[in-house]
Each structure stands twice: as structure tokens, then as C-alpha cells.
Amino acid sequence: MILGYNTNGFSHHRLVDAIRILAGLGYRALALTPDVHHLDVTQQGWEKEAKTIGKILDDHGMVRGIETGARFILDPNRKHRPTLLEADKQSRQIRRNYLIRCMDLATHLGSPLISFWAGKACSENGSREKLHDRLVEECSLLANDAASRGLRIGFEPEPGMLVETTSEGLDLMAQVGHPAFCLTIDIGHLQCMGENIKENLDLALSKTINIHFEDMRRGVHDHLPPGEGEIDLVAVMNQMLEKKFDGPVCVELSRHSHDAVATATGTMNWFKANGFA
């Protein structure tokens, strides 16, 4: 189990500064969210920046994963759009091209994985059945793209999207049926959706390659530092240790970027105080 932090929690910092701060605090993994301010892979010249970032990560001995949840990187007016669920084929292609570019970034940086989600089930794009069939098709194509690069996909169930629970994520994984298609589990999302955390981790950890970590309250999709929500996070960490989960466990607190250093410090202090770092 490798403790890390998501760069979406340092959105007001230069990426190189965020990496150095997090490494100095003791984090050993970086969940990199390419965004308009952090290694924007939609713009020309990103490869040069990626080379610099890769060198810094190597210098600090940090494992890295590529997250793809930037809010407005593809459309400045619509959050998280377009998605893989769009009725318009060209719109789906925009999202697919972005994810493929993120795979290229993963290859440049030596990341073993990328993580993404389904997108919101908008009625304008068709029935839920049609959206689901579309998602399976798109994920199958992307799994092939990932495998051709030696990567794996960590698909993330996300509250408010077409696939929002662990069981739905496992069902999708079975339907895609590709060895490169795995899960990303967000601990807070389990609480938000009213899932039994222990039971679902027992079911899903063996198929999970990436963990997002934070506290949360039932029914409220608000990422919180440890101790500010309702989850017994000590029990969660112990369960992952017992199951011998050896992937990245990265803190995701994007709404705390205004106080990033204090938040990252406080979270690492929580890990240390409870014997996990």
C-alpha cells in the first residue's frame, strides 16, 4: 500500500512545487490530474513538460497514476462534458481522444494506470439501457488501447453518474471482460452511496488497482479530510492491509486547494498518528 495525494488538491500550486511539497511530507505516490493548469495534454508541447515532471518524480522516488477527472478541460462551459455516453459520436470521440492522450502521458511518465469514470446519465443522450451499451463498447475500445501500451484502466464508480456503486462497477467490469479493465475505488463514495464499506471492499479489492481516500458523509458527495466525516478510516486502512492491497492509496481533496499544504500535512499526520506512515 503506497500513500499518495491527488494534484487536484493543489490546483493553486505549480505542479513542480506540489510534487516537492508532497514528497517532503512523506507521500510516495502522485495521482496526477492533467488540467488546464497542470500538464494540459490537450495543448501542444505537453511532452516536454512531461519529461521534466517525470524526472522530478524519479528524483523523489514517487509512484504515479493518471487521473482524468478535470472539470472543464474539454468544455469550458459544461463540467465533465463531453463524456463517453454522448449520443453524438464525434462528442464521444473527443472524450476518447482525451483519454488516449492521458494514456500517452502515462507512458511518458512511467505510470502503470489511468483512471476514469462513466459520466452523467443525461436523458438527452438516450435511455439508461442505451447509455450502458454505449459505455461497454467505449470501455472495451479503451481497454484495448490501454493494453497495447502496457497499461491498465482503473474504472471509478462515481455518485451521480451512470455507474455509481461498487456492484455496478463490478458488473461493468464483467461485461467489458478485458484483463486491462479493473476498478478504482473511492472510499468516500462508498459512504456517500450508503454502501457497506467492509463488504464491498471484500468483494472489490482483488479487482482494484487504485484507491481514492478521504472521509465523507452518507448522501453528501463532499470530500472531507480524515475525521471530518462518518467513516471509520482506521478500519478501512486495516482491511486494505489485511487484504494485502499493494497499489496507490491517494488522498483526494480537490475542494481544499485553497489550504493545500495544511490539508496535505494534516492528512499525513493522521496516517502517522494511526500507524500507517
Give me Rg for the CA atoms of the chain. Answer: 18
Q: Give SS3 for 269.
A: helix
- The set of residues, in sequence order, having a beta carbon less than 8 Å from that of 27 and lying 6+ positions away, is 3, 4, 5, 62, 264, 268
- The set of residues, in sequence order, having a beta carbon less than 8 Å from that of 11 and lying 6+ positions away, is 35, 37, 38, 254, 257, 260
Residue 215 lies in a domain: yes
State the average pLDDT over residues 235-254.
97
Residue 262 lies in a domain: no
Quote the pLDDT of residue 123: 93
| C-alpha cell read off for 24 | 517532503
Please state whether beta strands 208-213 and 248-251 pair in parallel, antiparallel, or not at all (unpaired).
parallel
The CATH number covering residue 169 comes to 3.20.20.150
State the average pLDDT over residues 210-223.
98
pTM: 0.97
Q: Mind listing the pLDDT tens digit for each residue in 11-46?
A: 999 999 999 999 999 999 999 999 999 999 999 999
Helical axes 166-176 vs 197-204, angle rounded to 10°? 10
State the average pLDDT over residues 115-119.
98
Quote the pLDDT of residue 42: 97
Residue 9 lies in a domain: no
CB 268 within 8 A of CB 20: no
Q: Mind listing the pLDDT tens digit for each residue in 162-198?
A: 999 999 999 999 999 999 999 999 999 999 999 999 9
Residue 87 lies in a domain: yes
Residue 164 lies in a domain: yes
Report the Cα 7 to chain-centroid distance in Å. Answer: 11
User: How many domains does the structure of the chain reveal?
Assistant: 1
Cα dihedral across residues 51, 247, 4, 154: positive or negative: positive
Residue 148 lies in a domain: yes
Range of the structural domain that residue 90 is part of:
30-223
CB 251 within 8 A of CB 267: yes
Cα dihedral 251→216→167→143 (10° resolution)? -30
Cα dihedral across residues 57, 19, 116, 156: positive or negative: positive
Residue 253 lies in a domain: no
- The set of residues, in sequence order, having a beta carbon less than 8 Å from that of 38 and lying 6+ positions away, is 7, 11, 15, 18, 32
State the average pLDDT over residues 154-167.
98
Residue 267 lies in a domain: no
In the chain the first and final C-alpha atoms are separated, in Å, by: 10
Among 198, 196, 169, 199, which Cα is nearest to 185's?
169
User: Cα separations (Å) of 248 from 27, 45, 123, 217?
Assistant: 10, 28, 35, 23
| Alpha-carbon gap, residue 199 to 196, rounded angstroms | 6
Q: Mind listing the pLDDT tens digit for each residue in 72-89?
A: 999 999 999 999 999 999
CB 258 within 8 A of CB 12: yes
